Chain A
Amino acid sequence: MSEKEKINDPAAFFRQYYGEMEDGWSKLWEQLLSSPVYAQAMGALMDAYLSSQQAVQTNLKKYMENLNIPTKDDLARVAYQVVQAEQKISELQKEIKGMKSLEAKLDLVLAEVKEAKEFQKQYRQQGEQKGLVDLEKKLEEIQALIVAKTGAKSQSRSSSKGDGRGSAKSQGQSADKKQKAKTETRQTVLV
């Protein structure tokens, strides 16, 4: 800023003046603000202001009540209830969200259980079929063994008698017994 500007521009004049005074003012204010006197004065001023406000508020409240007009406190109460209701809605939303996610999880679990059951059923069916086939084979083996044993015995008996005089009746009875035994064995195995 040139010397001429400082002299001729009114703003520049104040700027120059302020520049020279700034430090002094700052120190002065600092001293004042840090003194207990300032704190007491501000406290007293605030106290007086609050007392007057309190009186105004009390009178205004009575006046409003007489006129059946809601006061600031009434409005605050309603607004507070709105806030509380909003909060409850928010909590409910959260719970519903939680339930929905729980429901989704339950659906997943149910699907898994269903799948497992299906698998178990298929496995059992396959197992049963395989088991039956095995049993059939074993049964046939047993039959073959029985037949082989009983056939060998009857041959040795008839050969020990040698004359072939064994009655046809007894031979027939023996064959019936064999057949019965075979049937019973088969039934037992099947059961």
Chain B
Amino acid sequence: MNFNYGPFNYAGFSQEEAQRMAARYKRLTKLALHDPEPRVGQTPKDVIWTRNKTKLYHFHNGHVTRSTPLMMVYALINRPYILDICQGNSMVEYLIKEGFDVYMVDWGTPGIEDKGLKFDDFVLDYLPEAFSVVQERSGSAKVSLLGYCMGGTLNSLFAALHPELPIANLVFLASPIDFTDAGLFANWLNPETFNVDKMVDVMGNIPAELIDFGNKMLKPVSNFVSSYVHLWDKLHDEVFVENWRVLNHWVNDGTPFPGESFRQWIKEFYQKSALVKKELFLRGRQVDLGRITCPVLNLAGDKDHIVLPNQSSELAKHIGSKDYEFVTVPSGHVSLVVGKMAKEITWPKISEFLSKRD
């Protein structure tokens, strides 16, 4: 074959090389112009409780074999469907197949009217109500909690402030607890240079794009360039392209951070490390992690640059649980819950831990 058109000189290419290149450009065009939005969060579920924008999902499971239901709590930013991203790559789907009765809290998208919502509200009003709904629906007094990222931090506050509730187990996934060494964030969120009060006062809720930009700037070359370069390299691999699309969709599908919660998150957690110093108060109630006594499983990704592994591992020093397990997974922040490492290590570990204590 002889192709000599314009600036491209494919004269010396083999037919196979030329076909592969053509397929790559064709796929790229299709990806950019024709592909519909990927379908995410496809595991069938019911909304069983709502409060303001928050929803509680109950995933369908016709063969529940575990007696203790599992309630998943996600962060106040981004969407919880990362835990149920797509068929075959979903933690929820896996746990359902393992016989668990799975529930999930979705905080929804806060509006301008929600800028005053604080951690106090989520921990002392929303979560207890969701917990009791899970108890009622499942018919089980005991409920296990799983928190990913900030969801784990929220769970730790909830468990510490409600020692009277029958929390069966706590599972933490890449959850920041100790903020004394928070990597680049510690530098950027320094109170001398970062005026969080002015930001919240002017913006109200913090836009999702700003949060996303901050997270991406932790690894700017990887996030802004390498991601697309890898896509280019593997455009011929349909499975890779599909996974890239769903993850890219999730990364760019953020939610605003409620203003007052953001103020607390930066001031109390990042700037003061108040949680581990026992200086955090929610509605005047001191948060003492020592009151957490239930079995705890703590998983962290060793390449996580958003929540450094040491931010999670420090949990052991502050809780009162005797039954505690910490597992480091060779993964990043997101690959801890989706992808190869999640399938091989994270999901089976969670199932095993909960099953042993069921």
Which A residues form the contact surface with B (CB < 8 A)? 2, 4-5, 8-11, 15, 18, 22, 25-26, 29, 33-36, 38-40, 42-44, 46-47, 50, 53-54, 57, 72, 75-80, 82-83, 86-87, 90
B193 touches A40 (CB 8 A): yes
A57 touches B193 (CB 8 A): no
Q: Tell me the complex Cα distance, A29–B222, Å.
A: 11
Q: Tell me the complex Cα distance, A58–B243, Å.
A: 45
Which B residues form the contact surface with A (CB < 8 A)? 7-10, 12-13, 17, 21, 51-52, 111-116, 184, 187-188, 190, 192-195, 198-199, 201-204, 217-222, 225-226, 229, 232-233
| Chain A facing B: main interface SS | helix
Residues of chain A within 8 A of B12, CB atoms compared = 4, 8
Q: Tell me the complex Cα distance, A57–B7, Å.
A: 52
Q: Tell me the complex Cα distance, A2–B220, Å.
A: 29
Residues of chain B within 8 A of A43, CB atoms compared = 190, 192-195
Decide yes or no: A42 and B188 within 8 Å by CB, A76-B112, A86-B52, A87-B52 being known contacts. Answer: yes
B112 touches A72 (CB 8 A): yes
B184 touches A8 (CB 8 A): no
A46 touches B113 (CB 8 A): no
Name A76's contact: one of B113, B184, B202 (CB within 8 Å): B113
| Residue in chain A with minimal CB distance to B13 | A4
Residues of chain B within 8 A of A57, CB atoms compared = 202
A53 touches B202 (CB 8 A): yes
Residues of chain B within 8 A of A83, CB atoms compared = 52, 113-114
B188 touches A50 (CB 8 A): no
Residues of chain A within 8 A of B199, CB atoms compared = 46, 50
Q: Tell me the complex Cα distance, A78–B111, Å.
A: 12
In the assembled complex, the CB of B88 is this many whole angstroms from the nearest CB of chain A, namely 29
Name A79's contact: one of B7, B9, B112, B222 (CB within 8 Å): B112
In the assembled complex, the CB of B9 is this many whole angstroms from the nearest CB of chain A, namely 5
B217 touches A2 (CB 8 A): no
In the assembled complex, the CB of A182 is this many whole angstroms from the nearest CB of chain B, namely 73
Name B221's contact: one of A4, A26, A50 (CB within 8 Å): A26
- Residue contacts A-B, CB under 8 angstroms, 28 given: A2-B17, A5-B13, A5-B21, A8-B8, A8-B12, A11-B232, A15-B229, A15-B233, A18-B229, A22-B226, A26-B222, A29-B220, A29-B221, A33-B187, A35-B187, A38-B187, A39-B187, A43-B194, A46-B195, A50-B198, A50-B199, A53-B202, A54-B201, A75-B112, A76-B111, A76-B115, A82-B113, A83-B113
